[in-house]
Structure 1
Amino acid sequence: MAESISDVQHRIASTKNTRQITTAMQMVQTSKLNQIQKSAIGYQDYVSRVKAVVMHLAKSQLLNDASSDLQSDRPIKKIGFLVVTSDRGMVGSYNSNVIRDTNQFIEEHQKDTKDYVILAVGGTGADFYKKRGENVAYEYRGVSDIPTFNEVREIVKTVTNMYENGEFDELYVCYDHFVNRISSTFRGEKMLPVDQESLGTADSEESDVHQLATSYDVEPSVEEVLKVVLPQYSESLIFGAILDAKTAEHASSSTAMKSASDNATDLIGQLELRYNRARQAAITTEITEITGGQEALNQ
């Protein structure tokens, strides 16, 4: 059955309404992206300095000579994977990419044990792993669009307590790193225990703090200093990862909404062309009928 002119008109109006919504959402997400980028830029300098200090502690052998709850040489019997996703949809391929790359990362880093737990920040990841029957030991939903340090501190405190209580022996954070407004890359970083592997590439991220000496006079004691420095180090890395992931989420959502608006514009163009052709055909038919009737009256 041929589509009527009124049906085409209805589809055009409906698509225009959809485009109006997606365009507004794109503007909102772009605004959030601009805000969180300002926060991220300022925070990166702080993170680089914290990493630099911990790296120098490692070089001076203080990390090896002292003990802390966040350092451990216990055998790796269970691994924790902190997965950062969004709580909602309409973020393009963001969530599917994070989950796909995380699953691959888990397969590569299970080492000699197949026992692991999922710690999900974001409802999409939590729901996905629950449906698969995975051991979701912790979930946190409702991370703000522009996360604050105090908000993430609750997550860090819970995670570190789980580590100290032996619920897992090693922690990796899996998230999408923001590259630019149209692309992001997956990162899987070891956070706990704090050792040479988890410090990883901190050397390359040091700022001018790298001029610090590698020997220290410590008061009141090395252990007391590490009780302050190492939790702050872990907090800064996990907060930085969540902030980075949220930036990538907003960028993906903005791109997805722009793509939806562009597709709606293309569809409207096609529908308007179809409408004009149908209208022209209807007018031609009416003219033909009028002409035919006039000829019949003249006979």
Structure 2
Amino acid sequence: MQSTREIKRRISSVENTQKITRAMEMVAAAKLRRAQDRLERARPYEDAMRKSILRVINQLHGESHPLMEKNDTGEPCYLIVAADRGLCGGYNVNVVREANEHMEKEGVSSPRIISVGKRVRDFYKKRNYEVVSEYLDMPDNPTIEEAKKIAEPAMELFFNGEINELIIVYNEFQNALTQVPVARKLLPMEKDVIITEKDTEEELDIEEQLYAFEPSIEAILGEFLERYVENIVLLALLESKTSEHGARMTAMGNATNNADEMIEDLTKTYNRARQASITQEILEIVNGAEALE
């Protein structure tokens, strides 16, 4: 059995660790509240922009845009958004698994990778994937400027024919306990890519609506599509950051609770060891007294 000194040292170590996990849980909870507020403001904007693009596309009569056209050159590219740090449960593992499963399902053997976060970069570089660009130390409050830095080079790769598809993979925030990894096709921006399961038949039945476009429908469509790609990247960054804070809060909360259980078990062990030590001392005193008699 361990000595009482060793057990007390272990209890002290677990208590110190618990202080850290509890502090991290509180910090993550505070960040989560702010991130949720930003995410709730961003989602309606993306939805309204998507429906506006649908209205423009429904007025096209043979016209198109390079972002909507398929090409047979280049390889698929995966824009994968995860965290720079760990200690957030299965957050990083789940998004990488989702990307790998999508590659396997689509039969993609040599994709190009755009990584957001150190964990994604390290994972794919160790496995000799082609990481064409990496974006590290993303702020807790991503802005459209960060989204543009990621989206514009990706669109340039598509324009130049270096990639033939762009798939964005990230964790979609449901609640603090649930973050769902999703793989979403971003380019080429075909109509079925823009339509989602949430669209009703009434919302899609807009063929008869007529609009006057100035300067031209092609110019407006091009501007819309580029802004929309940037907006989806921004939304993915916000979803990922919110999911990261939720996952870290949950993971640190579980770690704090586990530390409580460990302290309780160690305290019981300490009391048993102390009781055994006292009993042994009493026996030694009694035996000594009997020997003197």
| TM-score between the two structures when normalised by the length of structure 1 | 0.91
User: Within 1, Cα distance between the matches of 2:205 and 2:232?
Assistant: 19
Identity %: 34
String of CA shifts for 1:145-168, please: whole Å, max 9, x gaps: 221222222111121122212220
String of CA shifts for 1:14-38, please: whole Å, max 9, x gaps: 0000001000001111111111000
Which shifted more, 123-132 or 220-229?
220-229
Q: 1:73 aligns with which of 65, 70, 74?
A: 70
Q: CA RMSD in A?
A: 2.3
User: Within 2, Cα distance between the matches of 1:50 and 1:189?
Assistant: 17
Measured at CA, do residues 208 and 201 of structure 1 come closer, stay the same or move farther in structure 2, by a change above 3 Å?
closer
AA aligned opposite 2:41: G
AA aligned opposite 1:27: M
| TM superposition shift of 1:81 | 0.8
1:82 equivalent to 2:79? Answer yes
| TM superposition shift of 1:213 | 7.0
Mapping for residues 220-299 of structure 1, pairs under 5 Å? 220-297=215-292, 299=293
**Number of residue pairs the alignment of both structures matches:** 293
Are 2:8 and 2:270, in contact at CA under 8 Å, matched by a contact in 1?
yes
Q: 1:107 aligns with which of 101, 104, 108?
A: 104
| TM superposition shift of 1:233 | 0.8
String of CA shifts for 1:150-196, please: whole Å, max 9, x gaps: 22221111211222122201111011111111112121111112111
Are 1:55 and 1:202, in contact at CA under 8 Å, matched by a contact in 2?
no
| TM superposition shift of 1:203 | 5.9
AA aligned opposite 2:153: T
Secondary structure in structure 2 of the residue aligned to 1:119: strand
String of CA shifts for 1:208-256, please: whole Å, max 9, x gaps: 9998973211111122212321111111111111211121111111111
Which shifted more, 15-24 or 134-143?
134-143
Task: Tell me the equivalent position of 2:169.
Answer: 174
Measured at CA, do residues 209 and 31 of structure 1 come closer, stay the same or move farther in structure 2, by a change above 3 Å?
farther
Which shifted more, 286-295 or 13-22?
286-295
User: Within 2, Cα distance between the matches of 1:55 and 1:208?
Assistant: 10
Structure 2, unaligned runs of 5 or more: none
Which shifted more, 71-80 or 227-236?
71-80
User: Within 2, Cα distance between the matches of 1:142 and 1:10?
Assistant: 37
Task: Tell me the equivalent position of 1:215.
Answer: 210
Task: Tell me the equivalent position of 1:133.
Answer: 128
Which shifted more, 162-171 or 79-88?
162-171
| TM superposition shift of 1:291 | 2.4
Mapping for residues 32-111 of structure 1, pairs under 5 Å? 32-61=31-60, 65-75=62-72, 77-110=74-107
Are 2:114 and 2:132, in contact at CA under 8 Å, matched by a contact in 1?
yes
